[in-house]
Amino acid sequence: MTFKYDFLIIGAGVAGMSYALKIARARKGRICMICKTSLEEANTSFAQGGIASVTNPELDNFDKHIQDTMIAGDFISDPRAVEQVVKRAPAQISELTNWGVNFDRKENGTFDLHREGGHSEFRILHHADDTGAEIQRGLMEAVRNNPHIEIRENHFAVEIITQHHLGVEVTRRTPDIECYGAYVLNPETQKVDTYLAKVTVICTGGCGAVYQTTTNPIIATGDGEAMVYRAKGAVKDMEFVQFHPTALFHAGETHPAFLITEAMRGYGGILRLPSGESFMEKYDKRLSLAPRDIVARAIDNEMKIHGIDHVCLDVTHKEAEETRRHFPNIYHKCLSIGIDITHEYIPVRPAAHYMCGGIQVGLNGRSSIHRLYALGECACTGLHGGNRLASNSLIEAVVYADTAAEHSLSEVGNYTFNDAIPAWNDEGTLTNEEHVLITQSIKEVGEIMSNYVGIVRSDLRLKRAWARLDLLYEETEALFKRVKANKDICELRNMINVGYLITRQAIERKECRGLHYTIDYPVHAYDKA
Ligand SMILES: Cc1cc2nc3c(=O)[nH]c(=O)nc-3n(C[C@H](O)[C@H](O)[C@H](O)COP(=O)(O)OP(=O)(O)OC[C@H]3O[C@@H](n4cnc5c(N)ncnc54)[C@H](O)[C@@H]3O)c2cc1C
């Protein structure tokens, strides 16, 4: 079947829903927002800490937030993107609260602000320790109550549509690639439908699921980056993968692995080997309180040296009642798997957490492909540079939803539907019966990425990853041509594409910078010059 919408939004986390609400307000055409599972399931729901914005001008100001972001990004963030996000953030916080999102306030009505690692001031708005779930709840209610937004759950975008589908040769040097919508898998018919759109917006979130262990939900397979890359659009900075140092190690819980917040180290938690020996003194004078990337590297090294699959976080020296009061969620979660954290160590290990790179976009959220925008974690705006400052991602998504809405609303009148686009061709394909071909390959991608393209990299490991991924790529593309499109094979394809992009861009960066750490190039290239 063919559907026609003025605005097609792929993804329904904070980015997709904020954009949809802003477009709906303008009443400039039909809007469809799709998501590949339920509306509830998105990285957004998992965010704990909060959302960064300067809201207390007496103590804080834009320059300080800008400076903190540039330092975290290892000075390769795009200053224009940083300035845009920081300066537009307060207005977008008001927008969120107007849509019904609640942030904790003090008795006098002002926001109860937290301070997180890397922030020089208290500027993190939060809702207890489940800010993301509150944002997702508020936005879901707002979009569900909005009659101008059509929502289609369990609809999977397979490919974006360009001139390529009209038989025109499209290469990475083609200057005027245009997006005409997307091919989308219908869960009821199991057929791929054609969604023609004047404006297409990719809001597909992160790609943590390409690693063996991640704090992201299983849906985070990097579909947006992969679709745009295949369509010959620009994808950038994929080597900058943020690993959270302390995810709970518990067999079978890897997508997502439960996050043990950094606040626990701030509270006095000590990192130890399972034998009880502490180790952070070998790595940084700030010990267990060193920045995220340093702690993640230290743990990774200790696990490799000792051949162990986790280290431990110890809060047994703290007063038991205080621990239970400060960390009720963590206490109960650990208890549910038989660990009383007031008496026993918490088994932890690093997990892939956040993708700083993605689909390259300008200040208005538009990608290198005309009529195609990318917002949220799948986009590379330049804000994060080499490393993300805590709580800067949710705010980035809302600010860019705003600039993209402004820009696309001003342009949509110039576009028409491209009625020449053919239906998805699945002639000669079979229903896939050998599911093991897919599940085994997904496991292999995770192993390759975690072992060779993880926290510490080398030229040798990266080349090995490239060769292994290449083999998987050939096998999977051949399989994709033989079988009817289904969610699993499409996700596998996307994961291989994303794995390849992370690996290739890591090979190209011949320096240690931000989150990219390689034993072959120990210092920044600019320091050597
Ligand atoms: C444990 C955890 C804690 C975090 N804490 C914080 C924090 O405190 N502060 C902060 O700023 N950030 C935090 N983050 C990061 C932040 O949550 C994410 O970067 C942000 O929520 C991403 O929002 P998004 O809208 O881009 O994507 P998501 O919220 O992930 O939404 C993606 C959407 O795309 C859809 N989708 C994907 N592929 C397809 C497809 N092929 N077809 C159709 N639909 C598709 C999905 O169904 C989903 O609806 C945290 C992340 C995690 C995992």
Radius of gyration for the chain, computed over Cα atoms and rounded to the nearest angstrom:
23
Tell me which DSSP letter residue 164 carries: G
CA nearest neighbour of 8 among 399, 361, 408: 408
Instruction: Enter the pTM of the model.
Output: 0.95
- Which atom, in ligand 1's list, is nearest to the CA of 158? 41
Q: How far apart are CA 17 and CA 39, in angstroms?
A: 10
Q: How far apart are CA 426 and CA 484, in angstroms?
A: 6
Virtual CA dihedral for 200, 202, 203, 209, nearest 10 degrees?
Answer: 150
Residue 298, Cβ density class (10 Å: 0-12 exposed, 13-18 middle, ≥19 buried): buried
Gap from CA of 250 to ligand 1 centroid (Å): 23
Gap from CA of 42 to ligand 1 centroid (Å): 5
Phi-psi region of 275 (alpha: psi -120 to 50; beta: other; left: phi over 0): alpha
Q: Which domains does the chain have, with CATH numbers?
A: 2-239+356-414 (3.50.50.60), 246-350 (3.90.700.10), 432-484+486-508 (1.20.58.100)
Gap from CA of 209 to ligand 1 centroid (Å): 12
CB count, 10 Å around CB of 430? Answer: 9
Q: How far apart are CA 116 and CA 427, in angstroms?
A: 54
Gap from CA of 296 to ligand 1 centroid (Å): 22
Nearest C-alpha to atom 3 of ligand 1 is from which residue?
47
Q: Helical H runs in 382-482?
A: 392-411, 436-452, 459-482
- Name the residue of 394, 398, 399, 489 to mutate for ligand 1: max ligand atoms within 8 A of Cβ: 394
Helices (H) and strands (E) in the chain, counts: 15, 16
Residues in the chain: 529
Gap from CA of 477 to ligand 1 centroid (Å): 27
Residue that is written with structure tokens 């003025």 in the block: 6
Gap from CA of 287 to ligand 1 centroid (Å): 31
- Which atom, in ligand 1's list, is nearest to the CA of 377? 26
Q: How far apart are CA 512 and CA 316, in angstroms?
A: 36
- Name the residue of 137, 330, 393, 495 to mutate for ligand 1: max ligand atoms within 8 A of Cβ: 393
Q: How far apart are CA 276 and CA 299, in angstroms?
A: 14
Q: How far apart are CA 200 and CA 23, in angstroms?
A: 12
Q: How far apart are CA 515 and CA 389, in angstroms?
A: 12
Could you tell me what percentage of the chain is helix, strand and coil, using 3-state DSSP and rounding each to the nearest 5? 40, 20, 45
Give Cα separations from 79 to 51, 239, 383, 429, 430 (angstroms): 20, 20, 8, 49, 50
Pocket of ligand 1 (CB under 6 A): 10-16, 34-37, 42-44, 46-51, 131-132, 156-157, 203-206, 215-216, 219, 223, 259, 354, 376-377, 391-394, 397
Tell how strand 358-360 and strand 379-380 pair up. parallel
Q: Which residues pair with 199 in a beta bridge?
A: 7
Nearest C-alpha to atom 9 of ligand 1 is from which residue?
391
Q: Which of 123, 137, 265, 292 is catalytic?
A: 292
The one-letter amino acid code at 342 reads T
Tokens at 451, concatenated: 């072992």
pLDDT tens for the chain, 529 residues long, are: 999 999 999 999 999 999 999 999 999 999 999 999 999 999 999 998 899 999 999 999 999 999 999 999 999 999 999 999 999 999 999 999 999 999 999 999 999 998 888 889 999 999 987 899 999 999 999 999 999 999 999 999 999 999 999 999 999 999 999 999 999 999 999 999 999 999 999 999 999 999 999 999 999 999 999 999 999 999 999 999 999 999 999 988 888 999 998 878 888 999 999 999 999 999 999 898 888 888 999 999 999 899 999 999 999 999 999 999 888 888 999 999 999 999 999 999 999 999 999 999 999 999 999 999 999 999 999 999 999 999 999 999 999 999 999 999 999 999 999 999 999 988 877 776 678 889 999 999 999 999 999 999 999 999 999 999 999 999 999 999 999 999 999 999 999 999 999 999 999 999 999 999 999 997 665 544 3
Query: 292 catalytic, yes or no?
Result: yes
Q: How far apart are CA 229 and CA 255, in angstroms?
A: 24
Peptide bond into 291 cis (omega under 30): no
Give the H/E segment covering residue 6: strand 2-10
- Name the residue of 19, 32, 44, 131 to mutate for ligand 1: max ligand atoms within 8 A of Cβ: 44
Q: Which residues contact 142 (CB under 8 A, 6 or more apart)?
A: 17, 21, 99, 100
- Which atom, in ligand 1's list, is nearest to the CA of 216? 53
Tokens at 257, concatenated: 């692995």
Q: How far apart are CA 36 and CA 13, in angstroms?
A: 11
Nearest C-alpha to atom 31 of ligand 1 is from which residue?
13
Coil/strand/helix, residue 82: helix
